[in-house]
Amino acid sequence: MNVKVFKFGGASVNTAAGVRNVAGILEKHRGQSVMVVASAMGKTTNALENLLRDYIARDAVAMVEKFYLLKDFHTDILHELFENKEHPVFEAVGRLFEELRGRLQSPPEKGYDETYDQVVPYGELFSCLILHHYLEQCELPVKLFDARQLVLTDSTFRDARVDWAKTQLRIQKHLFTWFQDAKGRMGLTHGFIGSDPQGRMTTLGREGSDFTAAILAYALRTKEVTIWKDVPGVLNADPKWFGNPVKLDSLSYLEAIELAYYGASVIHPKTIKPLENANIRLKVKSFLDPNAEGTTIENLREWKVPCPIYIRKTNQVLISVSPRDFSFIMEENLSQLFNILSKHHVKANVMQNSAVTFSVCADHDPVHIDPLLKELKHLFSVRFNDGLELYTIRHYDQEAIDRIAGQKKVLLEQKTRSTVHLVLSP
């Protein structure tokens, strides 16, 4: 099906001007079939995660304050976009906020992950509702589709696994008819969100809107997906911390998968594989300069490395465990350790073991790390450092390593033929 899939992240819709810019990009594609995936506006996901912490802690005062800050942020954008204050979007967004408030008035009865998935996805619900009404006001032929009716998953909250067979049937049922009945139609749906067999909201992992776009593209058998970012394409490092990064004009699927796996923020880790399987091109372009070429990711048998590529992850914890009797780390120890990591949903960013020690570097998410440490301390001798940084350098040379390590203390270094990992104490 000749449908283009566009994904717009939070930075592209974080202001009224951003929403107008998105509409302007879509206006340039009027007459074409386009499926749009949108994220929450700006830092709304972070704000909802903070609200969630207060909700679980039952801090009513902080919770009310954060709720109204969030509501005011969206209301201000509404007032800038819609001159007619009687426009139905005001009532529709108000109802959605009342729905969220109703959820927060009942005490949390489920675990953190399930509670997270019933609260944090409201960011995407707010964003798409506002964007849909504005695109209609611009007289673009758009229809809003509920992602919870399109992307069906299991019940692994915060990192749901897609039921591909059922999802494809749903997408074909809802979207094929819409696009086939008339040319030049546009669709809009929420990124990041799905639903489990009981109809409960699930999420596809942090920054999962990219993955939503890939799911839709795979099911629709499109030729191309475009992710619109606030950078000119895929860079060899994040410009927020790296001076003078280099834009990569092209990437192979394999290289993109490696970068996403190691934490490159430009692409969600699960995005590439379904696109590769269906041979769908992925473009990363700037919504600030939509006519620029950006970066193309596709099936390249040969890809020349133009320069080292740097990936930085902050807020890391390095955990080192040893058997209490100073025996060797054997296969049975490793099996036990991997089971404990899986049980607490802790993803190992880097692992290393010696004769008597196993070390793992992971994101320092207290919700999962604290119970993990508690269980490990019952079984092993445990040492850990937090507040660390993990740097991954692809296609490294010594100059690239020296540039990153500098005068910092290296707690762990791991090299392969093409990749080096450095766990550093700032």
Q: Cα separation of 70 and 97, whole Å?
A: 9
pLDDT for res 406: 86
Q: What is the mean pLDDT of the chain?
A: 94
Q: Is the pLDDT of residue 14 over 90?
A: yes
pLDDT for res 289: 96
Q: Is the pLDDT of residue 291 over 90?
A: yes
How is 60-108 classified by DSSP, letter by letter? HHHHHHHHHHHHHHHHHHHHHH-S-TT-HHHHHHHHHHHHHHHHHHSPP
The CATH number assigned to the domain with range 4-222 reads 3.40.1160.10
The DSSP code for 13 is: G
Amino acid at 77: I
Q: Cα separation of 130 and 132, whole Å?
A: 5
Q: Which uninterrupted H or E stretch holds 295? A: strand 295-298
pLDDT for res 183: 87
For the chain, how are helix, strand and coil distributed in percent, rounded to 5?
A: 40, 25, 35
Q: Which residues pair with 422 in a beta bridge?
A: 391, 413
201-203/4-8 β-pairing: unpaired
Residue 158 and residue 116 in contact, taking contact as beta carbons nearer than 8 Å = yes
If one compares 250 and 328, the residue with the highest pLDDT of the two is: 250
Position 303 confidence tier, pLDDT thresholds 50, 70, 90? confident
Q: Which residues pair with 363 in a beta bridge?
A: 316
Q: Where are the beta strands (DSSP E) in 16-150?
A: 34-38, 142-145
Q: Is the pLDDT of residue 375 over 90?
A: yes
Amino acid at 304: K
Fold match between 4-222 and 309-425? no
358-363/350-353 β-pairing: antiparallel
Q: Is the pLDDT of residue 130 over 90?
A: yes
Say whether pTM exceeds 0.85. yes
First to last CA, the chain: 50
Residue 189 and residue 128 in contact, taking contact as beta carbons nearer than 8 Å = yes
Distant-in-sequence, close-in-space partners of 138: CB < 8 Å, separation ≥ 6:
23, 27
Q: Is the pLDDT of residue 328 over 80?
A: no
What is the per-residue pLDDT across 51-106, written as a single tens digit (0 to 9) for each?
999 999 999 999 999 999 999 999 999 999 999 999 999 999 999 999 999 999 99
Q: Which uninterrupted H or E stretch holds 384? A: strand 381-394
Q: CATH top-level class for 309-425?
A: alpha beta
For the chain, the domains span: 4-222, 309-425
Mean pLDDT is lowest, of 9-13, 113-117, 207-211, 386-390, for 207-211
What is the per-residue pLDDT across 170-184, written as a single tens digit (0 to 9) for each?
999 999 889 988 889
- Name the nearest CA neighbour of 286 among 242, 233, 236: 233
Degrees, nearest 5: CA angle 369-370-376: 85
